[in-house]
Amino acid sequence: MTMPIHFETYGKGTHDIVVCNGLSQSTANWRGIARHFPQFRWILFDARGHGKSLVRKRPYCLDDHVEDLHFVLNHVELQGKPLVMGFSHGARVALRAAANHANWFSGLVLVSCGSVMNARRRAFVNSWEQCLKIGGVRAMAWASLPSIVGNKILEKFPDLEFLIRGSVSRNHEEGLLAMFEGMATYPPPKEDAVRVTLPTLILHGGEDPLVLENDVHNFTNWIEGSTARTFHDCGHTLPLEEPGRFMEAIEHFMNDHVRS
């Protein structure tokens, strides 16, 4: 039987971390971190319409992604309540899941997550969607590259075509269109953030053009007891730019605030 949502597990640790990917990402973006830090058990999955997961009927609403997360949790033998970590768009999914289903998780990590749809962020998202409609996945990948991919990754891979090929290989035009259509219906993040009761860590890259310091301040104000850290020399893709420091922050948070 074909699984509607593709998922993979890595590591042999006693605490599970389930990762909600960003827009246009797949499990391929997180395998390196998962393999390098086997002291945790990592649960990775492709959002609907991404990677190896099935393309579904458009649009994809926020609660559709939460249902897919629940599907994955129901098909993995959990060792306890997992930590839910979301990156960028995946952070919005994780935020919704944590607000509505706190009993599923031991804690929440929001990485590179916007708090409001301001004019600049709306312009970014709209430009990516229009490039997708005009030129397909490849055009969208080129248009989004300078803003989504941090400078440290760009310096590491001077052959930008390599990064573009990776994005094209793991995405479907139909799935991305469904994502953009659904995103237009999402409620403001504040509506969910103020209802979060889980221990929460907010991580942000100081060079991120998409997520600003004000977004971090908003989340720490909305989520009682939350903590935050800014990586001043990183961009939007801070987990991939500085995986060691990223995981130090995760481990410190888990040791101080999260129980299995």
Per-residue pLDDT at 238? 96
Q: Compute the residue count for the chain.
A: 260
Binned at pLDDT 50, 70 and 90, residue 260 comes out as low
Q: Is residue 2 part of a domain?
A: no
- 242 lies in some domain: yes
Across the beta sheet with 83-87, the strand order is 7-10, 41-45, 16-20, 83-87, 107-111, 200-205, 227-231
Residue 122 lies in a domain: yes
Instruction: Tell me how crowded residue 166 is: count the other CB atoms within 10 A of its CB.
Output: 16
How many folded domains does the chain comprise? 1
pLDDT in tens, 45-56: 999 999 999 998
SS3 content of the chain, % helix, strand, coil (to 5): 50, 15, 35
Q: How far are the Cα atoms of 29, 46, 92, 100, 141 from residue 63, in angstroms, in the given order?
A: 23, 16, 11, 10, 26
32 within domain boundaries:
yes
CA distance 26 to 41: 18
Report the CATH number at residue 172. 3.40.50.1820
Mean pLDDT of the chain: 95
pLDDT above 70 covers what percent of the chain? 98
Among the listed residues 170, 167, 185, the one whose alpha carbon sits nearest the alpha carbon of residue 128: 167
- Give domain status of residue 185, yes or no: yes
Alpha-carbon dihedral 90, 152, 33, 249, rounded to 10 degrees: -80
Average pLDDT, integer, range 207-229: 96
Residue 239 lies in a domain: yes
Q: What is the pLDDT of residues 74-132, one digit of tens each?
A: 999 999 999 999 999 999 999 999 999 999 999 999 999 999 999 999 999 999 999 99
pLDDT band at 1 (very low <50, low <70, confident <90, very high): low
Helix axes 119-148, 160-169, angle to 10 degrees: 110
Any domain includes 139: yes
Give the strand pairing for 41-45 and 7-10. antiparallel
**Domain assignment of residue 217, given as a range:** 7-257
Is residue 135 one of the residues assigned to a domain? yes
pLDDT in tens, 137-150: 999 999 999 999 99
258: confidence class by pLDDT, cuts 50, 70, 90 = confident
Would you state the pLDDT for residue 257? 84
51-64 mean pLDDT: 94
> What distances in angstroms separate CA 23 from CA 142, 176, 226, one per listed residue?
14, 8, 25
